Amino acid sequence: MDLDAVRTFVAVADAGQFREAALTLEITQQAVSKRVAALERDLGARLFTRTARGARLTVDGQVFLPHARDLLRAEERAAASVRPGRRALRVDVIGRRLAPADLVRDFHHAHPEAALDVVTLFDADTAISAVRSGTIDASFRALTLPARRLPDGLAAARVHDEPLELLTGPGHALAAARAVTPAQLAGHRIWMPGNVAGTEWAAFYDDLGAAFGFTIEVTGPDFGTEPLLDTIADSPHLATFVGVQTRMVWPADHGLRRIPLRDPTPVYPHSLIWRADNPHPTLAALRAHLGTARESEDTWTPKWAG
């Protein structure tokens, strides 16, 4: 099986659009279409249904996706097994559209010689366990516990504070605002179906709502970014939060608005976690590149952010 075609299929499934997958893979949209078409011919199954707003997985595509991810992980393990002394630094960025991925891309641009394996793990417990076992070298997380309470042998530093924005459709009451204060959101419906109980991001947004008198709604299943954007675009009542560095693409007729939050600006606190005894030279270079986040008087973070 052509692993480049499998990798392209996974990229389209994650992005929900052929164009966005092409940007992620740094190839043309035509090349993405050709790879997916070739994979569909090899499998004898249709993997995507194309719509005006992007690409949706068929039932066959949904069934194939976890196996495709397994194939790519096996490829990564096979390559790493024959690179003694030259192993790439493996870094967990939570999601490829989020700020940590941007931070790692910036590091790669500054250090193009550094070999990197970028992975995405789900929750902090899984990431911390992987760092502790040596499966990955470092992870970007919002630490809901002080660094001193990490498992023995692990270290952490808060490296980046990411401001939040309010995302609304064109018919929302706040759509025309140039900026919004968190206090103004009291009484408004903030919809975030991806806030899974027990995760660090759910803890962050629960504390944010409690601090400023609004509730985060998590009703309904999380079908991913594209259905979320469709719903927000059509709703005069629902809004959601996104980080300023969260990369999103939507059709022009959605008319979505990204509105800055001010007085204070809520910031999501990204920390880097690593094993204190990890000698990988690229890890030291990454830590030096990131530095540490600097507190600002006009921002808000939960008390547990330290």
Tell me how far apart the alpha carbons of residues 156 and 150 are, in angstroms, rounded to a whole number: 8
Give the tens place of pLDDT for each residue, 169-227.
999 999 999 999 999 999 899 999 988 888 889 999 999 999 999 989 988 777 778 88
What homologous superfamily is domain 89-160+269-297 in, according to CATH? Periplasmic binding protein-like II (3.40.190.10)
Give the tens place of pLDDT for each residue, 66-111.
999 999 999 887 876 655 456 789 999 988 889 999 999 999 999 9
* Domain residue ranges of the chain, discontinuous segments joined by +: 3-81, 89-160+269-297, 162-266
In b/e form, how buried is each residue of 200-236, taking b as 16+ CB within 10 angstroms?
A: bbbbbbbbbbebbebebebeeeeebbbbbbbbbbebe
Secondary structure element (H or E) that encloses residue 43, with its range: helix 29-43
The CATH number given to 162-266 is: 3.40.190.10
Residue 61 burial (C-beta neighbours within 10 Å; 0-12, 13-18, 19+): buried
| Beta carbons within 10 angstroms of residue 251's beta carbon | 14
Inter-residue contact 240 to 232 (CB < 8 Å)? yes
Give the tens place of pLDDT for each residue, 285-297.
999 999 988 777 7
Radius of gyration, CA atoms only, the chain: 20
Fold matches, 89-160+269-297 and 162-266: yes
- Give the CA angle between residues 89, 290, 88 to the nearest 5°: 5
Tell me how far apart the alpha carbons of residues 197 and 248 are, in angstroms, rounded to a whole number: 24
Overall fold of domain 3-81: Arc Repressor Mutant, subunit A (1.10.10)
**In this structure, what token pair is assigned to residue 143?**
């630490």
Q: What average pLDDT does the segment 135-151 reach?
A: 81
Inter-residue contact 270 to 125 (CB < 8 Å)? no
Inter-residue contact 258 to 124 (CB < 8 Å)? no
